[in-house]
Amino acid sequence: MSHSPAVLLVETLRRERSRRGARHMVLFGGTFAVVFGASLATGEVNPAKLVEGFPRLFSYIGRTIPSFDPLDLWNSFSEWFWRWNVWSVRLFDTLVIAFLATVFASAAGFAAAFLAARNLVPPLVSGTLRRVLEILRTIPELVFALIFVFAFGIGPFAGFLAVFVHTIGSLGKLLAETVENVDDREKEALAALGASWIMQVRFALVPQVLPNFVSYALLAFENNVRSASVLGFVGAGGIGQEIMTAIKQFQYTDVSALVVMIAAVVMLVDLISGRIRRYLVEG
Amino acid sequence: MEAYSHVLFTSPLQRLFRYALICGFLLLVFAGLAYIEATPQRIIAGLGRLFVLIPVMLPPSPGDFLWTYLYAILQTIAMALVATSIAGLIAVPLGFLASRSFHRCGACRFFLRRMMDFIRSVDTLIWALIFIAAVGLGPFAGILAMAFKDIAVLGKLFSEAIDGVNEQQVDSVRATGIGGAALVRYGYLPQVLPIMLSHTLYFLESNTRSATVLGAVGGGGIGFWLVDRIGVNDWQEVTFIICILILVVVAIDFLSAFIRGRVIGRTA
- CATH code of B197's domain: 1.10.3720.10
Residues 6+ apart with CB under 8 A from A45: B82, B140, B143
Q: List all residues of chain A from 121 to 140 with a beta carbon under 8 Å from chain B.
A: 134-135, 138-140
**Based on the number of CB atoms within 10 Å of its own CB, is A153 exposed (0-12), middle (13-18) or buried (19 or more)?**
middle
Does pLDDT of B151 surpass 90?
yes
Q: What would the pLDDT profile of A110-156 be if each residue is shown by its tens digit?
A: 888 888 887 777 888 888 888 899 899 988 898 899 889 988 988 89
Position B148 scores a pLDDT of 93
Position B186 scores a pLDDT of 77
Q: Which residues of chain A have pLDDT under 70?
A: 1-2, 43-46, 283
d(CA B201, CA B94): 18
What integer best gives the mean pLDDT of chain B? 84
Does pLDDT of B23 surpass 80?
yes
d(CA B186, CA B175): 12
Nearest Cα residue to A231 out of A137, A101, A105: A101
d(CA B194, CA B74): 28
Position A199 scores a pLDDT of 77
Does pLDDT of B268 surpass 50?
no
Position B264 scores a pLDDT of 67
- pLDDT class of B260 with cuts at 50, 70, 90: confident
A 10 A CB-CB count for A148 gives 27
Does pLDDT of B138 surpass 60?
yes
Supply the range of the domain harboring residue A195: 86-282
d(CA A261, CA B153): 20
Poorest-pLDDT segment among A248-257, B8-17, B203-212 = B8-17
Residue A77 lies in a domain: no
Residues 6+ apart with CB under 8 A from B1: B8
Phi, psi values for residue A69, rounded to 5°: -95, 110
Q: What is the pTM of this model?
A: 0.84
Residue B257 in contact with partner chain A when CB distance is under 8 A = no
Position B219 scores a pLDDT of 67
Total number of residues shown for chain B: 268
Among candidate residues B30, B57, B84, the one where a domain is terminated: B57
d(CA B113, CA B116): 5
Position A46 scores a pLDDT of 67
Residue A181 in contact with partner chain B when CB distance is under 8 A = no
With an 8 Å Cβ cutoff, are B246 and A134 in contact?
yes
Number of domains in chain A: 2
- pLDDT class of B267 with cuts at 50, 70, 90: low
Poorest-pLDDT segment among B37-41, B171-175, B208-212 = B171-175
Does pLDDT of B2 surpass 60?
no
Q: How far is A155 from chain B (nearest CA, A)?
A: 8
Q: How far is A172 from chain B (nearest CA, A)?
A: 16
Does pLDDT of B194 surpass 60?
yes
Residue A71 lies in a domain: no
Asked if residue A139 and residue A223 are part of one domain, the reply reads yes
Among candidate residues B17, B32, B57, the one where a domain is terminated: B57
Q: What would the pLDDT profile of B227-259 be if each residue is shown by its tens digit?
A: 888 888 888 888 888 888 889 988 888 888 888
Residue B33 in contact with partner chain A when CB distance is under 8 A = yes
User: Are the C-beta atoms of residues A246 and A115 closer than 8 Å to each other?
Assistant: no
Supply the range of the domain harboring residue B44: 2-57
Poorest-pLDDT segment among A48-57, A239-248, B59-68, B132-141 = A48-57
Asked if residue B259 and residue B223 are part of one domain, the reply reads yes
Q: List all residues of chain B from 202 to 231 with a beta carbon under 8 Å from chain A.
A: 209, 212-213, 216-217, 220, 223, 226-227, 230
- pLDDT class of B147 with cuts at 50, 70, 90: very high
Asked if residue A248 and residue A173 are part of one domain, the reply reads yes
d(CA A246, CA A255): 6
Q: Is the dihedral of CA A238, A243, A246, A249 positive or negative?
A: negative
Residue B87 in contact with partner chain A when CB distance is under 8 A = no
CATH number assigned to the domain comprising residue A92: 1.10.3720.10
Asked if residue B158 and residue B214 are part of one domain, the reply reads yes
With an 8 Å Cβ cutoff, are A259 and B126 in contact?
yes
Q: Rounded mean pLDDT of B87-113?
A: 85
Asked if residue A20 and residue A152 are part of one domain, the reply reads no
